[in-house]
Amino acid sequence: MKKAEILKLLRESGDYLSGQELCSRFGVSRTAVWKIINQLKDEGYEIEAVQNKGYRLQSSPDLLEEGEIASRLGTGRMGNNLICLPSTGSTNVDAKKAAEEGAAEGTLVVTDCQEAGRGRRGRAWSSPAGCNIYFTLLLRPPCRPEQACMLTLVMALAVAKAVRELGLDAGIKWPNDIVLSGKKVCGILTEMSAETDYIHYVVIGTGINVNQEEFPEEIGKTATSLKREKGEGVARATLLASIIGHFERAYEVFSASWDLRSLLPAYQELLLNKDRPVRVLDPGGEFQGTARGINESGELLVEREDGTLEAVYAGEVSVRGIYGYV
């Protein structure tokens, strides 16, 4: 894809590049280069053209599009197969379909707008166009199904790290919500297809409120966006590339033991639930306690009032006291 390559070269140079240089570099005609430059301008890139000097990139629009993303990804397998869609029903559905058809580990489906975005247990996930990030990463981990469940925490860690690098004080609400000023900015939905002891594939869908400014009333009290918290817009393709990079490194660490032992310190440090009250909806009876951290399997360790420690699963616990006063 010549467009992405020319864009990358312009961005990396930061200075003028002559049309002649671009022609010989990519083996295309001056007319072809001129056409690509015009295409980029149409998409919102500001490119200065100066006689005898050449082209210089002045600014990029906030696009979530193949050239923008591919030119920023510094990963190996993750995102190597990149599927960018202007809009789609749900990136998890697309990724599952691709997986059934044999798509490789690391396949990344990204879209600017989801018409049928879904959260956990079939709940809707608001996915307006032009401001946020919606992506799904396809994995084929050679581990057991219950080990793959921890991947949702690995992604939470990757997103939290990338958001913190923007200068924002992001924390994790166990198991996988990213929280800023007591409000949620990211949701993760991990799904898998497996035999009893063999995983066909795992898809990790992630939705991040990036530059969204207005929220519907019903979620405005519990949801926010990076732009609202930071006071300025965030470049989506750059953030996405950063998340995928963090995830690739964390996944490599995770896959050495297929548990969270090596990621535990980093996760615990960002865990907002620590030393906070929690209500556990145990099948054997509800109880109150204090969250103390997680274990290597990703379970939340809850201290009962009598001092005993219990490990609880996601889905069994109602973690109150985080939203609103972090």
Whether a cis peptide bond, with omega within 30° of 0, leads into 175 is yes
Of the candidate spans 71-79, 103-111, 141-149, 236-244, the one that interacts with a second copy by CB under 8 A turns out to be 141-149
Backbone Cα Rg of the chain: 22
Q: If binding is defined by CB under 8 A, does position 152 make contact with a second copy?
A: yes
* Minimum gap (Å) between residue 45 Cβ and a second copy: 39
Tally Cβ neighbours within 10 Å of residue 132: 26
In the set 60, 88, 90, 190, which binds a second copy (CB under 8 A)?
190
Site membership for a second copy, residue 314 (CB under 8 A): yes
311 is a contact residue toward a second copy (CB under 8 A):
no
1 or 281: whose CB is closer to a second copy? 281
Residue 279 in the binding site for a second copy (CB under 8 A): no
Q: Does 305 bind a second copy (CB under 8 A)?
A: no
Helices 151-164, 236-257: crossing angle, 10 deg rounding:
140
277 binding a second copy? (CB under 8 A) = no
185-223: burial string, b at 16+ Cβ within 10 Å, e else: bbbbbbbbeeeeeebebbbbbbbbbbbbeebeeeeeeeb
318 scored as a contact of a second copy (CB under 8 A)? no
Candidates 42-50, 68-76, 192-200, 210-218; binding stretch for a second copy (CB under 8 A): 192-200
Per CB under 8 A, which of residues 110..129 are in contact with a second copy?
Answer: 120-121
From candidates 175, 207, 245, 289, binder to a second copy by CB under 8 A: 175
> Looking at the chain, which runs of residues are DSSP E strands?
46-50, 54-59, 82-85, 108-111, 133-139, 171-173, 177-180, 183-195, 198-208, 277-282, 285-294, 300-303, 309-312, 317-318
Phi, psi of 109 (to 5 degrees): -105, 125
**For a second copy, which residue of 73, 189, 260, 302 counts as binding (CB under 8 A)?**
189
Contact positions vs a second copy (CB under 8 A): 120-121, 144-146, 149, 152, 175, 189-198, 200, 313-316
